[in-house]
Amino acid sequence: MDDRPASVETRTAPPPAAPVRRGLGLSWKLLILTVIFAMVSAVLIYVPRIANYRMTWLSDRLAMADTAAVVLAAPDQADIPREIQDELLRAIGATAIAIRSGSVSRLIAAVEMPPAVDATVDLRAMAPTEDVVEAFRTLFTPRERMLRVVGNSYTGAEIELVIGDAPLRTAMLRYSAGVLWLWAALSLLLSLVLFVAVNRMFVRPIRRLSQNMVNFSADPEDPRRVIVPSGRRDELGVAEEHLAGMQRDLQSTLAEQRHLADLGLAVSKINHDLRNMLASAQLFSDRLGGLPDPTVQRFAPKLIAALDRAIAFTQSTLAYGRAREAPPARRLIRLDRLVDEVADSLGLTGHAAIAFENAVPEGLEVDADPDQLYRILNNLGRNAVQALDGGVENPALVRRLTIGARREPGQVVIHVEDTGPGVPDRARAHLFQAFQGGTRPGGTGLGLAIAAELARAHGGSIALVDRAGPGARFEVTLPDRRRSESRNGG
């Protein structure tokens, strides 16, 4: 057999490398998105405005032609001289002006050879989509087109104007250039303001969170790397507070794991030497068992059984480096006799200050692993004895430990209760967790944690039961095996 102590090897993982940033950061992405949104919004604003500008320009020309036509088309006016027609057409920029009243149409002014009309614009009808299309057609058609503009006159008649779109295109380009410069200046200003505001409000706090995560992951045990919440009242402030809490919890967990690793190494060394000492004690107990003294014959089997349990437990600890419980080897047990054995091991038989009561019904059988059930009751009983022994030395205090049981359909409920000071409230939250559920100063809580683990291995449970009166009452519930499990060897 290898006598070398089992050791607990702890390896420190190398700190994670800082992630390599691939691509643009949040600030640049935000700036690009801001510019794109500004451009899209400008286009959405520009499109209806340029179409409206075209219609307004044509309406102004039609209004000028209508004003001149009202004067020139008076009944007392003779035919308009050629020079006046040409001057009127040059002022308006048109090639022909006509007024229609009912079915009668009168040409007010026209060039000598009117050109063919390419498109008709009816200012009396609303057609937004068509107006937008025609506006961009005017902008991007290289040759001059002749437009027939139709509208209502001040006199109620219909007025028509034939005009080339070259001056209109020039005016629209000039208007677009002005809008472009204005949009560029406003977009730049708004983009910078929005970028600075969003970067300060969101990007920088998020970058602070991510950088803290990277720094903390490099050395999570350094308390200086825990993020300090900025005190914000929004979602980012909540994220900072929760991140700080998780980092502190992680540091506490790492410290506990390191403590457990060191403790495991120490236990392995102690168990190695203790096993050798127990082996020597077993040899002496075997010799004592051969003596004819009645008292020796009475206590020697119990001493040998206790030494066998201790040796088996230390051997399992050395084999695995920690106390890994084997699956329960369940048998039918006389519970009242097992409780008597627990009382003897705790020194309660004839105890000067603590009264012990075995309240298990005679002959009650429980389906459990005898060694593991012994350890459950021994741990619970030892905690109760320590609670009863502590405190004020007053002979009037009632110090009593009772172990009883009752059978229910398919299970047995065992209770261990005492008249001690009870379980403090601070220990209830982590009562069955190792190193956290200690009920007395200096306690580790291992006894309750081991008892709970062994009870769960049987498919049962252990709980602290609140009741009226002093002391504490623990109940262990152990279900019977199903028949299929019994046939398979449990």
Q: Residue 320's pLDDT is what? A: 45
Structure tokens belonging to residue 180: 């472009």
Structure tokens belonging to residue 157: 């008649």
Structure tokens belonging to residue 423: 């379980």
Contact criterion met (CB below 8 Å) for 160 and 65:
no
Pairwise pLDDT comparison (264 vs 161), residue with the higher score:
161
In the predicted model, what is the mean pLDDT of the chain? Answer: 78
Contact criterion met (CB below 8 Å) for 72 and 80:
yes
Contact criterion met (CB below 8 Å) for 476 and 414:
yes
**4-49, pLDDT tens digit by residue?**
443 334 344 444 444 555 566 667 777 788 778 878 888 888 888 8
**Element (DSSP H or E) covering residue 4:** none
Fold of 328-487: Heat Shock Protein 90 (3.30.565)
Closest CA to 135 of 17, 55, 230, 254: 55
Dist CA 40 CA 44 (whole Å): 6
How many whole angstroms from its chain centre is CA 386? 44
Least confident stretch, 206-215, 250-259, 311-320: 311-320
Mean pLDDT of 56-74: 78
CA dihedral 122, 123, 127, 131 (to 10 degrees): 90
In this model, does residue 153 exceed pLDDT 90? no
Least confident stretch, 52-61, 89-98, 239-248, 281-290: 281-290
**DSSP-based helix, strand, coil % in the chain, nearest 5:** 55, 15, 30
293: three-class secondary structure by DSSP: coil
Pairwise pLDDT comparison (360 vs 87), residue with the higher score:
360
Contact criterion met (CB below 8 Å) for 478 and 332:
no
Q: Residue 296's pLDDT is what? A: 64
> What are the Cα distances from residue 97, in Å, to 86, 151, 161?
11, 12, 5
Q: Residue 62's pLDDT is what? A: 85
In this model, does residue 136 exceed pLDDT 70? yes
Q: Residue 75's pLDDT is what? A: 54
Closest CA to 399 of 349, 345, 355: 355
Least confident stretch, 40-44, 88-92, 140-144, 237-241: 88-92
Q: Is the pTM higher than 0.85?
A: no
Closest CA to 108 of 150, 67, 73: 73
> What are the Cα distances from residue 277, in Å, to 150, 280, 304?
118, 5, 14
CA dihedral 251, 257, 261, 264 (to 10 degrees): 140
- Structural domain boundaries of the chain? 26-189, 328-487
- DSSP labels, 17-63: PPPPP-S--HHHHHHHHHHHHHHHHHHHHHHHHHHHHHHHHHHHHHH
**Residue indicated by tokens 């502190």:** 248
Give 53's contacts (C-beta < 8 A, 6+ positions apart).
135, 171, 172, 175
Which range among 277-286, 419-428, 432-441 has the greatest average pLDDT?
A: 419-428
Mean pLDDT of 452-481: 89
383: three-class secondary structure by DSSP: helix
CB neighbour class for 108 (10 Å; exposed up to 12, middle 13-18, buried from 19): buried
In this model, does residue 283 exceed pLDDT 70? no
In this model, does residue 1 exceed pLDDT 60? no
| Other Cβ atoms within 10 Å of 116 Cβ, number | 6
Contact criterion met (CB below 8 Å) for 275 and 318:
yes
In this model, does residue 231 exceed pLDDT 70? yes
**What are the φ and ψ backbone dihedral angles of 139, each rounded to 5 degrees?**
-65, -40
**390-434, pLDDT tens digit by residue?**
766 777 788 899 999 999 999 999 999 999 888 887 777 778 776
Give 419's contacts (C-beta < 8 A, 6+ positions apart).
388, 398, 399, 400, 470, 471
Q: Residue 11's pLDDT is what? A: 42
Dist CA 305 CA 192 (whole Å): 83
- DSSP labels, 193-261: HHHHHHIIIIIHHHHHHHHHHHHHHH-TT-GGGS------SSHHHHHHHHHHHHHHHHHHHHHHHHHHH
User: Which pLDDT band, with edges at 50, 70 and 90, does 471 fall under?
Assistant: confident
Q: Measured on CA atoms in the order 395, 398, 401, 403, is the torsion positive or negative?
A: positive
454: three-class secondary structure by DSSP: helix
**337-387, pLDDT tens digit by residue?**
999 988 988 888 878 888 999 999 998 999 999 999 998 998 899 888 888
In this model, does residue 271 exceed pLDDT 80? no
Angle (nearest 5°) at CA 436 between 430 and 437: 55
Q: Measured on CA atoms in the order 183, 184, 186, 187, is the torsion positive or negative?
A: positive
Pairwise pLDDT comparison (302 vs 239), residue with the higher score:
239
Share of the chain above pLDDT 70, in %: 73
In this model, does residue 3 exceed pLDDT 70? no
Q: Residue 333's pLDDT is what? A: 93
Determine the angle formed by the axes of helices 26-72 and 166-198, rounding to 10 degrees: 150
Computed on alpha carbons and rounded to an integer, the radius of gyration of the chain in Å comes to 49
